[in-house]
Structure 1
Amino acid sequence: MSHYNFTRRHLLGAAATLAAGAAQGALAQPSSGKRPNILWIVSEDNNAYIGAYGDKLAHTPTIDGLARKGVLFRHVYSNAPVCAPSRFGILTGVYPESCAPANHMRANAHWPEAFKTYPQLLREAGYFCSNNTKTDYNCDVKPEAIWDVQGPQGHWRKRPANQPFMAVFNYETTHESRLFKPTAGRVTPDMITLPPFLPDTPGIRQDYASYYNMMEKMDGQLAERLAELEADGLAEDTIIFHYSDNGGILPRSKRYCYEEGLACEMVVYAPPKWRHLLPVAPGHELTSPVSFIDLAPTVLSLAGVAQPAQMVGKPFLGPRASAKTYAFSMRNRMDERYDFQRTVTDGRWRYIRNYMPHRPWGQHQAFEWLAKGYQDWESAHRAGTLNADQDRFFQPKPFEELYDLRQDPHELRNLAKDASAKPQLARLSKALDEHMLAINDNGFIPEALAGEGYFESRNRALYPLPQVMELARAAVSGSASTAQLLAGLDAKLPVLRYWAAMGLLIHRPAAAKPALQKLLAQETCDQIRVLVAETLVHLGEVEEPVKMLTTLAAQDRVWQVQLQAINGLTFIGEAARPALPVVQQAALSEQEYVRNAARYLSAVLEGRYTPSLPIMDFERLMQRMKG
């Protein structure tokens, strides 16, 4: 009988894998038992569509079995609602927004050479560390330099005898890309109950059914991996984590700062000899918030390794375990679309602050829109058949959102202006401000502007964060007067001018037109030029601002500025038509996000766009599905 109470079918399914391991000649490498082995089984893009979490449609016996014998984490959150920034935080123990451009999806931030990742620290402490296989760390860390074995051969079986191990296995079975074709199984579309923010369409129902079936398939793969562990005689010495790298992939999930995008599933099992390292008794839940920024400190705690100062999370297991009050998350650029959100939850309430409220939640993204659910949702929006809750996704955002997750689990009733919720709003807003200052949030630096980076952004002469936050809040919320915003355009620092210009773009006061016209000719910062030009078009000035956006969208600019300009052109509608030749040229770019944004805008201006039009080409899609 399996130690984990798996089904016989799952155990038999592991036979081929076990045989392959035997051929490698390393099946039974017992550890010394003085320190626990640690096994991370990471699946992709999962909300808690799992039986142990109370989902009656789910068929996940492996995860349910781990939860019965271990700890289920009721309120566990990724630090970004998408993989690459989330994985940066998991690897480094540093918030991605502390080390721009790691806060963007996807980027290549510089990881300070003075800092070490958790596998480096574990290896120094005598652990064998392997990763099989995904990295996607959103920074310039070289994976082969931090792991003992990185890639398809990564396995605890590669370690020397008696050496404790930390092994990571990543499963892409539930990745977003797998949703683009239906997955058959025990759950069928007619069995689905849809959330009220979505229309009832065949495509959306099929996406939900496919997701359940993908989850069941993934659960069986986990059973095979755990059967390997048991067959190798390592089950009694190994602490097992199963978690997802970010929230789910169904409409309004991945990329969005709601529960569906950030709330993940996680269970941890510790065998009897290591059970004292768990915070609650086996079979119980942990209800205090847990954040993925806590994963690296937790592993170090379990291994008895000191936590370095740059890792700001709190261990939730082991001798240094402590509860926390809040989990913080963020969003900046997602693929080719810019946005800026910060959010905090205590598990009961969620507060969201939108620093770009003029942009709708539902900005078209080439990869995301390959899912039939998003195509159906936008088609219904264009047809005018959505109710107010369903159509909100395609509308501009409020500056602040506040939801009572107990009473409103679908986050539809924004209580930010409700007098009865004022204490909660004040408490969470204050907590978020304190957090952003404490971690030195880089998100206010427009992408590719000087000052990005963990140490670079700590230069207050270049990036005075308290002053920037104060200006940004006033500019975006509308509490700053037009005169104050115009005065901000004269600031010496580009980041301050940027947020003054952002406020004028959001609120578009007619009185600002003369100053903006002057600034368009004199401003030297391209990122600010983009904002000024878009604002002037909305204020009725077209020719010169569109020329500016066209110039900035040309191929001779850094790709981030080019992308920002194409986004600006996208949101001025028909006024962007004179830029079409340059946009068509950008649609041939080798830079993925520039190419996709330009292809979309070209299709719109040429009258070819429909929600089902594929913006990404198939070959590039297949390359992305491999990673």
Structure 2
Amino acid sequence: MKQPNFNPHLNRRTVLGAAASLAATAAQGALARPSSGKCPNILWIVSEDNNPYVGAYGDKLAHTPTIDGLARKGALFRHIYSNAPVCAPSRFGILTGVYPESCAPANHMRANAHFPKEFQTYPELLRAAGYFCTNNTKTDYNCDVKPEAIWDVQGPQGHWRKNPGGKPFMAVFNYETTHESRLFQPTQGRVTPDMVAIPPFLPDTPAIRQDFASYYNLMEKMDGELAQRIAELEADGLAEDTIIFHYSDNGGVLPRSKRYCYEDGLACEMVVYAPPKWRHLLPVAPGRKVTSPVSFIDLAPTVLALAGVAQPAQMVGKPFLGPRAAPKTYAFGMRNRMDERYDFQRTVTDGRWRYIRNYMPHRPWGQHQAFEWLAKGYQDWESAHRAGTLNADQDRFFHTKPFEELYDLNSDPHELRNLAADPAARAQMERLSKALNTHMVAINDNGFIPEAMAGEGYFESRDRKTYPLTQVMEMARLAASGTGSEAQLVEGLNHPLPVMRYWAATGLLIGGQHGAKAALLTALAKDGADQVRVVVAEALIRMDEIDEPVRVLTVLAAQDKVWPVQLQALNALTYIGDHARPALPVVQQAAQSEQEYVRNAGRYLSAVLEGKYTPSMPIMDFERLIRRMKV
């Protein structure tokens, strides 16, 4: 794989030099300001888990007059995407301007990545430029940034009204009304279950119909809350000086949306209104649509541009408003661990075509997750799968994945017809695959490093002696595509770097090359990286080498291990069927863990091995659920 022209070695020395230069420029007052000479106030009204179930986007069942009104007076972004189909990694990117997969483990849901102290978040940069910045109230930044340190006011009291005066403000308000957890009980309202249309990849069941109806009703309620906030701005006489953004933090929560790298997981809704004095900063005339792709990695650069603040080197997005606005060709997305389940996908879209690459194709799309399965729609879907009543499009969710997927969103908006092998779509396939490769190298994608393995982190992963990214990507391609020969994978199994051995072992797990059994047995006994031994053990079990691999997985799933390794071992045990039965005592112990994801994985697997599992069985504690709903 040829490395593109870019600078991957953004090290501490260059960062400190850039930071010093930026500070000096700010001190001299030489930063570019908007043409009026004064900076606008900026109001972000953020909602949660929203696809564009909005009238302005053409949804005739939606009742969203506030969002529709903002769109008529401002700009509607037709192809706006989160960079991850779930909140915490998405919010990391919004805050920092850094892709979460550039700063592992921020690419996992939920983690505590180290955000380099040499970098600054957008509110810190705005405050240094004279803005008063508040956040009310959600953070969920997926890293060790201290919210109280970066905002003037953080929490329920965060409001532009706390502004001491004389400063422009940046105020963020977050509404949880449409959060996934709100679907766990029906919401009555204008839309009833008989009114909704069910997409063809879902069965038409009462619970799924109710989930859709509830979602529409929650969207209407959220829209009313937005109206109240805007009325408050107008009452304070600030509307003519304030640019208003409304957007959702990731895609929707109806089945096969949140957590999945399809349009429904990544496509969001966003409108931006600029009052007349700032209208020149919009990229289109009022009431028009922005059709080029935009993603949330562009939000921080955009507010910095509006404030006339220089964009630091680590922020790789592009402004979509103001004098530095630049249209983009592609929007990129990703997923790694979602709660207790590991997966690995990367995706790119140009708004017309979506390309998805599955680096763990041996795992099904529909891995059971304790929180997700609290929605009765998922329970109905799995019950129908177990009953054998689904058609092929509906049942696909519960099966393993291809390495590559390609969809024409114009003709196939539900992403059912995979064109990856279609000769007629070869040019689009090659174009998007190349764009994704270039992007992953350019941002130094950390996702190939198994969680808790040495090398995770923004600067740590830039050491090519530990993490030779292009070599790792090639080994992962050979592994996940099934094109790696037995000889290549066995050679990789002996590589000095554990990340290379991990992907070689993954290739042998996926491909099932029985000739590699001796090499795998040696690795099981001698490899020094537990993450590698987990994959090696599962590969051997798939080759009917049972006793010792199950014993190793049982040991690795024990409570005295680092929790991501425990979780990886529990995931492997989950996919070996009845062979996992000897591990049941350790699995039951894991089900009592204080670590949420280890506990949920243990509870699910215990129920399966004991023959007690049903799709409606609650795996998550109710009290813990209530706390989760408040995050």
Instruction: Give 1:173-188 correspondences, 5 Å limit.
Output: 173-188=177-192
- Aligned with residue 457 of structure 1, among 461, 472, 482: 461
Aligned match of 1:387: 391
Query: Does residue 300 of the first structure (1) align with residue 304 of the second (2)?
Result: yes
Instruction: Give 1:200-239 correspondences, 5 Å limit.
Output: 200-239=204-243
Letter aligned with residue 300 of structure 1: L
Aligned match of 1:12: none
- 1-structure distance, mates of 2:460, 2:366: 33
Q: Deviations over 1:548-577 (max 9, x none)?
A: 000000000000000000000000000000
- Aligned with residue 135 of structure 1, among 139, 155, 160: 139
Contact 1:45/1:245 (CA < 8 Å) preserved in 2? yes
Q: Deviations over 1:47-83 (max 9, x none)?
A: 0000000000000000000000000000000000000
State the Cα distance separating 1:479 from its structure 2 match.
1.5
Aligned match of 2:56: 52
Query: Does residue 565 of the first structure (1) align with residue 566 of the second (2)?
Result: no
Aligned match of 1:544: 548
- 1-structure distance, mates of 2:475, 2:619: 37
- 2-structure distance, mates of 1:168, 1:518: 55
Query: Does residue 268 of the first structure (1) align with residue 257 of the second (2)?
Result: no
Query: Does residue 530 of the first structure (1) align with residue 534 of the second (2)?
Result: yes
Letter aligned with residue 368 of structure 1: E
Instruction: Give 1:402-551 correspondences, 5 Å limit.
Output: 402-551=406-555
- 2-structure distance, mates of 1:525, 1:294: 37
Aligned match of 1:247: 251
Letter aligned with residue 355 of structure 1: Y
Aligned match of 1:17: none
Letter aligned with residue 472 of structure 1: A
1:177 and 1:33, CA in 2 relative to 1: closer, same or farther beyond 3 A? farther
Q: Deviations over 1:339-367 (max 9, x none)?
A: 00000000000000000000000000000
Structure 1: where are the runs of 5+ without partners?
1-31
Aligned match of 1:16: none
- 1-structure distance, mates of 2:193, 2:482: 45
- 1-structure distance, mates of 2:479, 2:57: 42
- 1-structure distance, mates of 2:124, 2:474: 38
- 1-structure distance, mates of 2:466, 2:60: 54
- Aligned with residue 577 of structure 1, among 569, 578, 581: 581
Aligned match of 2:119: 115
Give the 3-state SS of the residue equivalent to 2:612 in structure 1: coil
Contact 1:101/1:447 (CA < 8 Å) preserved in 2? yes
- 1-structure distance, mates of 2:54, 2:541: 49
Query: Does residue 604 of the first structure (1) align with residue 608 of the second (2)?
Result: yes
Give the 3-state SS of the residue equivalent to 2:300 in structure 1: helix
Structure 2: where are the runs of 5+ without partners?
1-35
- 2-structure distance, mates of 1:609, 1:478: 33
Letter aligned with residue 497 of structure 2: L
- 2-structure distance, mates of 1:291, 1:615: 34
- 1-structure distance, mates of 2:152, 2:333: 31
Q: Deviations over 1:278-334 (max 9, x none)?
A: 000000000000010000000000010000000000000011001000000000000
- 2-structure distance, mates of 1:204, 1:247: 18
- 2-structure distance, mates of 1:161, 1:426: 54
Aligned match of 1:26: none
Q: Deviations over 1:387-414 (max 9, x none)?
A: 0000000000000000000010000000
- 2-structure distance, mates of 1:156, 1:495: 48
Letter aligned with residue 595 of structure 1: R
Query: Does residue 39 of the first structure (1) align with residue 43 of the second (2)?
Result: yes
Instruction: Give 1:71-86 correspondences, 5 Å limit.
Output: 71-86=75-90
Contact 1:401/1:415 (CA < 8 Å) preserved in 2? yes
State the Cα distance separating 1:162 from its structure 2 match.
2.6
Query: Does residue 316 of the first structure (1) align with residue 320 of the second (2)?
Result: yes
Contact 1:66/1:269 (CA < 8 Å) preserved in 2? yes
- With normalisation by structure 1, the TM-score equals 0.95
Aligned match of 1:592: 596
- 1-structure distance, mates of 2:356, 2:432: 9
Give the 3-state SS of the residue equivalent to 1:541 in structure 2: coil
Q: Deviations over 1:247-287 (max 9, x none)?
A: 00000000000000000000000000000000000000000
State the Cα distance separating 1:527 from its structure 2 match.
0.2
Contact 1:127/1:166 (CA < 8 Å) preserved in 2? yes
Q: CA RMSD in A?
A: 0.7
Aligned match of 1:368: 372
- 1-structure distance, mates of 2:259, 2:442: 24
Q: Percent identity?
A: 82
Instruction: Give the paired residue count.
Output: 596
- 2-structure distance, mates of 1:218, 1:211: 10
- 2-structure distance, mates of 1:515, 1:498: 13
Give the 3-state SS of the residue equivalent to 1:389 in structure 2: helix
Letter aligned with residue 535 of structure 1: A
Aligned match of 1:172: 176
Contact 1:33/1:237 (CA < 8 Å) preserved in 2? no
Aligned match of 2:401: 397
- 2-structure distance, mates of 1:459, 1:190: 57
- 2-structure distance, mates of 1:606, 1:476: 32
Aligned match of 1:91: 95
Bigger Cα displacement from structure 2, 403-412 vs 517-526: 517-526
Query: Does residue 556 of the first structure (1) align with residue 560 of the second (2)?
Result: yes
Runs of 4 or more, structure 1, over 6 Å off, are none
State the Cα distance separating 1:33 from its structure 2 match.
8.6
Letter aligned with residue 231 of structure 1: A
- 2-structure distance, mates of 1:323, 1:381: 43
Letter aligned with residue 273 of structure 1: K
Give the 3-state SS of the residue equivalent to 1:321 in structure 2: coil
- 1-structure distance, mates of 2:68, 2:467: 48
Contact 1:83/1:136 (CA < 8 Å) preserved in 2? yes
- With normalisation by structure 2, the TM-score equals 0.94
- 2-structure distance, mates of 1:88, 1:370: 26
Letter aligned with residue 324 of structure 2: R
- 2-structure distance, mates of 1:124, 1:269: 25
Query: Does residue 615 of the first structure (1) align with residue 624 of the second (2)?
Result: no
Aligned match of 1:6: none
